[in-house]
């Protein structure tokens, strides 16, 4: 060739879809790499050898039966929020308001437990609580969806701001209901009567929560994959124009999906207050609304894979938390480790979606041809 | 009587970190990157500066302490820390084309954790029994007011009573506004954010602009975290003290409809709303204070709604905001 054009060192092109075992293989590699980096970081900060660090992570979840139950409970709660936000994400509606929707549900539950404890017997109160929490969460999801559908208002920031409004509402009511006066907290609600507490199943405090979430997982899988609604959601997510063209009422789908998303978040709020903590604090959600974004996204919005990703995040979080107490480190250590792992997995998506070919190989071909 | 003379300077000081954050995020968003990692970056910026200041303060004796050197070291540490975060974000979203929302949220988790972890470790290192770290000397250097602040009465109190970082914030946002609106670089940057394919066809290096804008934006945002610790909080780092200001800074970008010069006045307004609850007399009813704290968020939502209903073309977000660009995919 006479006129030599400069060829870039790497050439990137889009891959056609990889078979599932290859794409999950790449993700697994990323995970292993990230664990390696985490081990290095832990080694530097604690001076402990990485194997015993991993041992400690494992022990944090599986060394006793109680710990395993706590692990399962935490997975269930995270999974529940993730299931709630997944239809919205699939629709490319960035619902970052899981926190607020959960808090709204939690607040409604608490209101029922405190204000209606003398009005209803326990058997009637719990259904009332369920209805109220779902309605509150749905309302919190409806507001941003309405404005998005009607005027295209940016949902990312709207839902984010709704979180803070919910937080302030909760802190307002915490002061209104504080027990004892001036304590700045509600304390355990109905401790002696246990009115409005979700009952233990088979002697296990958390089993009911876990069963509810398991049912939700199956429901969401079927809803997304086999129902007409689920199909409409994915069409709107892929292309709003196509959806309009085939006669899907986009506005209706947006509002309906967000109401569902908010409602499930609200139900999670109920599980947290009535099924777990029996109190209300502004931090009861524990940032799960944000972690749910990662859980859903890492699992490519597939409810079944989400069991795995939420297990992974909870397991690591517990492990890192344990390491930090064991070595006298700060609690935030787990956030750093979670961050590192997420960066690797986020980065690995590139290698699933794109093929990289180097200049080197191209040159070789050329010489072979000559 | 509502005490404006103490309220306004407090509101402005409260607004400065938000101004840094929103100026940085505006630059970033103009390049088409919606960086939700800003809250984390501000934490990292703050803690990097604190680390720099801590090691400088503990390595020299109080007699040989040089205020200027302390300021320089702290600033450099902050800029470096936030630059690294910006590079990480760019590498993931621009080079590897990862989803921007997810990357941003992961950066926030990481950054806040990073800040609190090293903050906690430094507190332990300093042997302080209280859960905070005080860097009084460095902070005094940062808080140095303009010379005639105390002698010019109300004028001095309103306009001259701030540390140099506060003025820098205003200057930076004016520069950012000028560059975006009036220079060729700004025009190219806006083109990249609106339609990268067209910009690419016109010979603008899309990735270079995205990298530069996001990294500079991160460094500016990091300064906001530093201002909060060193000036507003008087050099005292305690974990989670910075709170949700990073998210408010992102909200401010929308509030100012992507104009850094409007950011100056709006950030002061937000600062005022943020501390309003301390200045409204509520008597013994403490609960109502919690409702006043909603003000900045409610105002943001109202602005969001109004700007979307009015739907004026010049008030819209950059058209390709939040999308990764791949040349071979059009």
pLDDT tens across A173-220, in order?
988 888 777 777 787 887 777 777 887 777 777 888 889 999 999 999
- Selecting from A151, A154, A165 the residue whose C-beta is nearest the C-beta of B294 gives A165
* Residue keyed to tokens 């590079």: B87
Q: What is the DSSP letter of A206?
A: T
CB A152 within 8 A of CB B316: no
pLDDT grade for B304, boundaries at 50, 70 and 90: confident
- In the three-class reduction of DSSP (H, G, I as helix; E, B as strand; rest coil), residue B56 is classed as helix
Q: What ipTM describes this predicted complex? A: 0.85
**Tokens at A25, concatenated:** 């293989």
Mutate to test the interface with B, among A82, A164, A298 (most CBs of B within 10 A): A164
pLDDT of residue B216: 95
Q: Smallest CA–CA separation between A134 and chain B, in Å?
A: 23
Q: Smallest CA–CA separation between B307 and chain A, in Å?
A: 8
pLDDT grade for A103, boundaries at 50, 70 and 90: very high
Q: Is B247 within 8 Å of A160 when comparing Cβ atoms?
A: yes
* Residue keyed to tokens 């809803």: A223
Please list every residue in chain A whose beta carbon sits closer than 8 Å to the beta carbon of residue B237: none
Q: Is A347 within 8 Å of B98 when comparing Cβ atoms?
A: yes
Q: Smallest CA–CA separation between A5 and chain B, in Å?
A: 17
pLDDT tens across B249-258, in order?
988 888 888 8
How many C-beta neighbours within 10 Å does residue A52 have?
A: 13
Residues 6+ apart with CB under 8 A from B81: B44, B45, B47, B48, B49, B222
pLDDT of residue B2: 65
Average pLDDT over residues B191-215: 91
- Each domain of chain B, given as residue ranges in start order, spans 4-315
pLDDT of residue A259: 94
Q: Is A161 within 8 Å of B112 when comparing Cβ atoms?
A: no
The model carries a pTM of 0.86
**Tokens at A342, concatenated:** 């997420």
Select from A40, A25, A26 the least CA-distant residue to A336: A40
Mutate to test the interface with A, among B94, B110, B256, B307 (most CBs of A within 10 A): B110
pLDDT tens across A269-316, in order?
999 988 888 888 888 888 888 889 888 888 888 888 899 989 988 888
* Residue keyed to tokens 């040159």: A363
Nearest CA in chain B to A12: B328
What is the C-alpha to C-alpha distance for residues B225 and B79, in angstroms, rounded to an integer? 11
Query: Is B308 in CB contact (< 8 Å) with chain A?
Result: yes
Q: Which stretch of DSSP H or E encloses residue A138?
A: helix A122-151
Average pLDDT over residues B208-232: 92
- In the three-class reduction of DSSP (H, G, I as helix; E, B as strand; rest coil), residue A178 is classed as coil
Residues 6+ apart with CB under 8 A from B198: B191
Whether residue B126 has pLDDT greater than 80: no
- In the three-class reduction of DSSP (H, G, I as helix; E, B as strand; rest coil), residue B121 is classed as helix
pLDDT of residue A132: 93
A10-14 and B133-134: which strand pairing?
unpaired
Whether residue A143 has pLDDT greater than 80: yes
Q: Smallest CA–CA separation between B112 and chain A, in Å?
A: 8
**Tokens at A370, concatenated:** 């000559």
- Chain A to chain B, count of Cβ pairs less than 8 Å apart? 160
pLDDT of residue B16: 93
pLDDT of residue A1: 46
Q: Is B298 within 8 Å of A14 when comparing Cβ atoms?
A: no
CB B301 within 8 A of CB A147: no
Q: Is A334 within 8 Å of B251 when comparing Cβ atoms?
A: no
What is the C-alpha to C-alpha distance for residues B53 and B45, in angstroms, rounded to an integer? 12
pLDDT tens across A11-46, in order?
777 777 777 788 888 888 988 898 888 888 888 877
pLDDT of residue A40: 85
Query: Is B105 in CB contact (< 8 Å) with chain A?
Result: yes
pLDDT tens across A333-363, in order?
888 888 888 899 888 888 888 887 776 655 5
Nearest CA in chain A to B34: A156
Q: Smallest CA–CA separation between A346 and chain B, in Å?
A: 6
From residue A191, alpha-carbon distances to A232, A274, A370, B62, B272 in Å are 46, 12, 85, 56, 41
What is the C-alpha to C-alpha distance for residues A108 and A115, in angstroms, rounded to an integer? 10
| For chain B, percent of residues with pLDDT exceeding 70 | 96
Query: Is B85 in CB contact (< 8 Å) with chain A?
Result: no
- Selecting from A151, A169, A332 the residue whose C-beta is nearest the C-beta of B120 gives A332
From residue B146, alpha-carbon distances to A39, B13, B158, B231, B235 in Å are 49, 15, 12, 14, 19
- In the three-class reduction of DSSP (H, G, I as helix; E, B as strand; rest coil), residue A52 is classed as helix
Q: Is A343 within 8 Å of B88 when comparing Cβ atoms?
A: yes
Please list every residue in chain B whose beta carbon sits closer than 8 Å to the beta carbon of residue A14: 326, 328-329
Q: What is the DSSP letter of A120?
A: S
Topology of the domain comprising B4-315: ABC transporter involved in vitamin B12 uptake, BtuC (1.10.3470)
**Mean pLDDT of all residues in chain A?**
84
How many C-beta neighbours within 10 Å does residue B160 have?
A: 16
Average pLDDT over residues B145-171: 78
Average pLDDT over residues B73-101: 92
**Tokens at A247, concatenated:** 């006669």
Mutate to test the interface with A, among B98, B107, B132, B243 (most CBs of A within 10 A): B98
Q: Is B114 within 8 Å of A157 when comparing Cβ atoms?
A: no
pLDDT grade for B330, boundaries at 50, 70 and 90: low
pLDDT of residue B322: 79
Angle at the Cα of A12 (from A8 to A13), degrees rounded to 5?
135
> Which of A90-94, A196-200, B25-29 shows the lowest mean pLDDT across its residues?
A196-200
> Which of A55-59, A222-226, B87-91 shows the lowest mean pLDDT across its residues?
A55-59
CB B104 within 8 A of CB B112: no
Mutate to test the interface with B, among A299, A330, A340, A348 (most CBs of B within 10 A): A330
Q: Smallest CA–CA separation between B306 and chain A, in Å?
A: 9
Phi-psi region of A190 (alpha: psi -120 to 50; beta: other; left: phi over 0): left
How many C-beta neighbours within 10 Å does residue A12 have?
A: 17
- Selecting from B101, B106, B311 the residue whose C-beta is nearest the C-beta of A94 gives B101
């Amino acid at each position: 060739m006479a006129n030599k054009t400069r060829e870039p060192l790497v050439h990137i092109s889009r891959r056609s879809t990889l078979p599932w075992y290859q794409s999950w293989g790449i993700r697994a590699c990323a995970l292993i790499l990230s664990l390696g980096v985490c081990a290095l970081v832990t080694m530097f900060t604690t001076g402990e050898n990485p194997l015993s660090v991993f041992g400690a992570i494992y022990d944090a979840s599986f060394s006793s039966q109680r710990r395993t139950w706590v692990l399962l409970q935490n997975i269930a709660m995270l999974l529940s929020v993730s299931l709630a936000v997944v239809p919205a994400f699939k629709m490319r509606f960035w619902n970052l308001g899981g926190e607020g929707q959960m808090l709204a549900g939690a607040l409604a539950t608490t209101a029922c437990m405190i204000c209606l404890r003398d009005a209803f017997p326990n058997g009637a109160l719990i259904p009332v609580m369920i209805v109220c929490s779902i309605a509150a969460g749905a309302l919190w999801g409806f507001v941003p969806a309405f404005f998005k559908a009607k005027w295209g208002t940016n949902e990312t920031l709207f839902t984010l701001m709704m979180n803070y409004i919910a937080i302030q509402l909760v802190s307002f009511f915490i002061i209104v209901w504080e027990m004892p006066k001036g304590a700045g907290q509600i304390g355990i609600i109905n401790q002696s009567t246990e009115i409005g507490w979700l009952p233990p199943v088979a002697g296990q405090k958390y089993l009911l929560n876990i069963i509810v979430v398991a049912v939700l997982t199956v429901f969401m899988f079927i809803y997304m994959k086999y129902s007409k609604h689920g199909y409409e959601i994915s069409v709107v997510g892929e292309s709003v124009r196509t959806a309009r063209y085939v006669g899907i009422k986009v506005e209706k789908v947006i509002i309906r999906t967000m109401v569902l998303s908010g409602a499930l978040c609200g139900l999670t709020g109920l599980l947290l207050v009535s099924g777990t903590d029996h109190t209300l604090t502004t931090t009861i959600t524990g940032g799960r609304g944000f972690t749910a974004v990662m859980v859903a996204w890492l699992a490519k919005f597939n409810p079944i894979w989400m069991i795995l990703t939420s297990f992974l995040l909870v397991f690591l979080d517990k492990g890192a938390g344990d390491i930090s107490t064991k070595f006298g480190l700060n609690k935030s250590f787990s956030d750093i480790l979670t961050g590192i792992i997420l960066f690797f997995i986020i980065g690995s998506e590139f290698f699933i979606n794109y093929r990289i070919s180097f200049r080197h190989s191209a040159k070789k071909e050329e010489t072979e041809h000559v | 009587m509502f005490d404006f003379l103490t309220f306004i300077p407090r509101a402005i000081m409260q607004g400065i970190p938000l101004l840094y954050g929103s100026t940085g995020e505006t630059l970033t968003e103009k390049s088409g990157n919606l960086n939700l990692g800003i809250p984390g970056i501000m934490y990292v910026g703050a803690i990097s500066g604190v680390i720099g200041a801590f090691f400088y303060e503990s390595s020299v004796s109080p007699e040989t302490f040089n205020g200027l050197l302390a300021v320089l070291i702290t600033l450099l540490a902050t800029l470096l820390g936030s630059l690294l975060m910006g590079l990480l974000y760019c590498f993931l979203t621009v080079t590897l084309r990862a989803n921007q929302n997810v990357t941003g949220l992961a950066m926030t988790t990481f950054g806040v954790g990073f800040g609190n972890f090293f903050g906690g470790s430094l507190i332990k290192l300093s042997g302080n029994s209280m859960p905070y770290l005080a860097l009084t000397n460095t902070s005094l250097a940062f808080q140095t007011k303009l010379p005639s602040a105390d002698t010019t009465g109300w004028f001095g109190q309103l306009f001259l009573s701030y540390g140099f970082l506060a003025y820098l914030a205003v200057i930076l946002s004016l520069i950012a506004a000028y560059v975006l609106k009036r220079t060729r670089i700004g025009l190219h940057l806006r083109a990249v954010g609106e339609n990268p394919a067209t910009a690419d066809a016109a010979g603008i290096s899309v990735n270079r602009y995205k990298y530069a804008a996001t990294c500079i934006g991160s460094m500016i945002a990091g300064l906001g975290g530093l201002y909060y610790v060193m000036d507003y909080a008087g050099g005292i780092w305690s974990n989670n003290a910075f709170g949700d200001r990073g998210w408010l800074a992102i909200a401010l970008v929308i509030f100012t409809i992507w104009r850094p010069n409007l950011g100056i006045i709006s950030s002061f307004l937000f600062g005022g709303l943020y501390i309003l609850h301390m200045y409204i007399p509520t008597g013994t009813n403490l609960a109502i204070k919690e409702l006043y704290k909603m003000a900045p968020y409610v105002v943001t939502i109202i602005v969001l709604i109004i700007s979307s209903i009015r739907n004026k073309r010049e008030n819209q977000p950059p058209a390709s905001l939040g999308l990764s660009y791949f040349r071979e995919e059009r």
